[in-house]
Amino acid sequence: MDSNDLTHDSGKTVPESQVIVTTPPINLFMADFSLRLLLFASTVVGIVVMVTSKQTEYIMTPLAPFPIPNPAKFRYSPAFIYLVVALSVTGLYSLLSLTCSAFAISKPSPSTTLLFLFAIMDALMAGILASATGAATSIAYVGLRGNSHVGWMKICNVYDKFCRHVGSSIGVSIFASIILVLLVMISAYSLYRRSR
């Protein structure tokens, strides 16, 4: 038998140049599912940590002979509220996409439409969450360092617990943004492999 020929069940020999080898598309939905689960967990943690960020300190003023309670809460800053809303929307989206991803794992080859929708929605959520994280980070930085040029004083030396909560929530939000970027890359890579 010639080494350039392959034999099929029908008994006919087919030249090696005519044999079409098909490789199944790479299914990265297990990694996709794991990242979506991690995204959901990180958004929930980010929301809980930000919502519980409150601290009350007693401050002396020249107008009152006794210390006055002065609370710091996340809802006093529109940037922190924006971060909580962005984390909530991303968390809801991650829960919905986690369900879709769970169904897609069972199939040998998930649909191209689903991959495309994941890529678009993940990119949209990454943009929303990154912008909210940036806004909250800028306010947190002013609270940490102050701004002597405009006379804004730092507050984290007084409201240390509040600032730790805010910083932790921002850190988790950055982590969630990175997960979203990885999800976009997985979807884009899967679509690229199918187009070849």
pLDDT tens figures, 6-50: 444 555 665 666 656 555 555 677 888 899 999 999 999 999 999
Whole-model pTM above 0.95? no
Give exposure, 168-185, as e/b (b: 16+ Cβ within 10 Å). Answer: ebbebbbbbbebbebbbe
Residue 56 forms part of a structural domain: yes
Q: Does residue 70 form part of some domain?
A: yes
What residue numbers bound the domain in which 54 lies?
26-195
Query: How many domains is the chain partitioned into structurally?
Result: 1
Structure confidence at residue 171 as a pLDDT band (50, 70, 90): very high
